Structure 1
Amino acid sequence: MKFYYCLVTAMLFAVTSCTLDKTDYEAETGAEIPEHYEFEEAASINNGIYTISIETLNGTFYKGYNQVHVTATNTQTNEPLSTEEITFLPVKADASGNAMSCPHKYNLAYDAENAYYSGYVVFTEVSNNTTSWKLYLGINGNTATTDISVAEQPNKNLNMTAFTGNDGGSYVIALIAPQRPGVAENELVAGIYKYNTPDAPPVTFPDPEQFSYTEVQGYTLRLDPRMPQPSMGNHSSPNNQDLTQHEDSLYYGVVNYTMTGNWTLNFILENQNGLIIKGTEVPTDFTPGIEGVKSELHIDILF
């Protein structure tokens, strides 16, 4: 009987705290989660030979995953390109002039139905006084460049993380969906990428071999979602599914959000052989009043 009373008390504490936290959060933000469904021009280039338009959702480059649509027109014939190869390379420069990149699709694929070239880029840092980004697009041996600005992602459901794995490799995990989760079982989509360490020094600049990333193949991203704030006791939810890779090279799973609020997606990343690349188990204890422990590999979200 004593155990039953304690259990009921703990459950009432959790439910009451959830309601209070939700109310306080809504009062604090007073804003809905931003969603973007329309592609708009984020950058344009005219190098005298081609005019190029680069579109993203909301016409903005954000930290994290960005799908890109590229159209190009020959300025001499005024004909849109459809059979030429177009390459896409983002390069970041820091205050010391060091050049780095981020996960991206280098060889864009032409979508005949929609008449554009498609790709993606996962920006790992925002633009600021010490970090700048430039895009290099190659067409038929000609290079077109433009400076761009990368903004902070206002939707925390689309957060990303970059880390060094236990194998010494540099990895990036970026959330792609859902943009706006529901209190339900949600399909969770993520991209997982690894930097390809170059075998030789650069031949020229920008040498794409120095900035290459791979979509990791056949990994498993084990998932343990929790509400880590003290009032939630770091509780989890049932019916979650680990993320595995589909034919489009992205990783799909299921996350069950049982209420709105702050959640942490705790991960353990395993390679094809089941070896842990990064991540730690999270204790299963219900700890009301104490901030929850997080995996060494995690992404915080909020909805």
Structure 2
Amino acid sequence: MKFFNFLVIALFLAITSCTIDKTDYEAELGSEVPEYYEFKEAASFTSGNYKISIEALNGAFYKGYNEIHLKILNMQTSQNISTSEVTFLPVMSNPDGNTSSCPHLYNLKYDAVNKYYAGYSVFTSESATMASWKLYVSFTSDNQVYKVDKDVAVEKQSNKNLNMTSFKGNDGEQYFIALVSPQKPTVAENPLTAGIYKYNKPSNSAGNFPDPSQFSYSEVNGFTLKLDPRMPEPSMGNHSSPNNKDLTQQNDGLYHGVVNYTMTGNWTLNLIMMNQNGLILKGTVVPTDFTPGVEGVKSELYIDTLF
């Protein structure tokens, strides 16, 4: 009974304390968190008789997870190529000449139903004076290999529900977690999707630029991402919610779970990442104390969201 009374009081404080701020959250939602479901051309370039078109949501590339659709059109025959091996490599350069990449699918997969090559790129930063992105694409047609490249702009991701994080695990490997959906959660139990990726350290010296072996990433398989969502604002008391489900990998290679948002506002997805053997690679348990007036403690591994 004491626990029940405490819970009721806690929820009452949380609800009443966020009333003033709620209007601000709604204003930010309307101006900065649109939903994009239409794929449009984000980049195009030509090589010989071929036009390469890359589509992304809203016709733009954003920091974080980007699903991409690539089409190759033979402009002489007006036919799309469907039998070629297509490679896709994003490379970031800075003024000092240093280069790096980001999690991506190097060998794109042809979708025969929708008639495009499918892949993704998890851009780790937006374009800036000190960081420019270029896409390198190759394909084969009539036994001839075509290699093309294109400078592209990567925009800031204003939707915090699509945030990402990168970190070094306890095993010394570099990992990346990117939120994929939902774009705009509701006050309910929301299906939560994320991608987990690892940088593959090169085992050989670099060849001709851009050598894909130096920019290799892979999807992480068989991990578990334990989830504990909290509202860390002092007015919220770091309260959580019931019926959340940890993220596990499904057939699409992505990790799926459930996050239960009980009200709008700032939420932190506290995470613990475990490998196939149940060993913790990153993340810490969050205290369960209700702390009104005090900012909530976050896990060693977390991603902030807002809706």
User: What does 1:255-274 align with in structure 2 at a 5 Å threshold?
Assistant: 255-274=259-278
Residues 41 and 55 in structure 1, CA contact (< 8 A), matched pair in contact too? yes
Shift in Å at residue 112 of structure 1? 1.3
User: What does 1:169-248 align with in structure 2 at a 5 Å threshold?
Assistant: 169-248=173-252
- Taking the aligned partners of 1:6 and 1:273, their CA distance within structure 2 comes to 38
- Taking the aligned partners of 1:126 and 1:110, their CA distance within structure 2 comes to 28
In terms of mean alpha carbon deviation, does 67-76 or 139-148 score higher? 67-76
User: What does 1:1-303 align with in structure 2 at a 5 Å threshold?
Assistant: 9-27=9-27, 31=31, 33-140=33-140, 141-303=145-307
Task: Give deviations 1:234-256, integer Å, cap 9, x for gaps.
Answer: 00000000000001111000000
Check 1:115–1:4 CA distance in 2 against 1; reply closer, same or farther (3 A cut).
closer
Q: SS of 1:22's equivalent? A: helix
Q: SS of 1:146's equivalent? A: strand
Q: SS of 1:31's equivalent? A: helix
Residues 105 and 120 in structure 1, CA contact (< 8 A), matched pair in contact too? yes
Q: Unmatched 5+ residue regions in structure 1?
A: none
Shift in Å at residue 96 of structure 1? 1.6
Task: Give deviations 1:60-92, integer Å, cap 9, x for gaps.
Answer: 000000000111123454432010111000001
TM-align CA RMSD: 1.8
- Taking the aligned partners of 1:4 and 1:279, their CA distance within structure 2 comes to 30
Q: How many aligned residue pairs are there?
A: 303
Shift in Å at residue 5 of structure 1? 7.6
Task: Give deviations 1:252-274, integer Å, cap 9, x for gaps.
Answer: 00000000100000000000011
- Taking the aligned partners of 2:2 and 2:61, their CA distance within structure 1 comes to 56
TM-score normalized with structure 2 length: 0.94
Residues 32 and 159 in structure 2, CA contact (< 8 A), matched pair in contact too? no
Q: Unmatched 5+ residue regions in structure 2?
A: none
- Taking the aligned partners of 1:115 and 1:192, their CA distance within structure 2 comes to 27
- Taking the aligned partners of 1:200 and 1:100, their CA distance within structure 2 comes to 16
Residues 62 and 126 in structure 1, CA contact (< 8 A), matched pair in contact too? yes
Q: SS of 2:128's equivalent? A: coil
Shift in Å at residue 49 of structure 1? 4.0
- Taking the aligned partners of 2:29 and 2:190, their CA distance within structure 1 comes to 23
Residues 62 and 150 in structure 1, CA contact (< 8 A), matched pair in contact too? yes
- Taking the aligned partners of 1:187 and 1:4, their CA distance within structure 2 comes to 28
Shift in Å at residue 18 of structure 1? 2.4
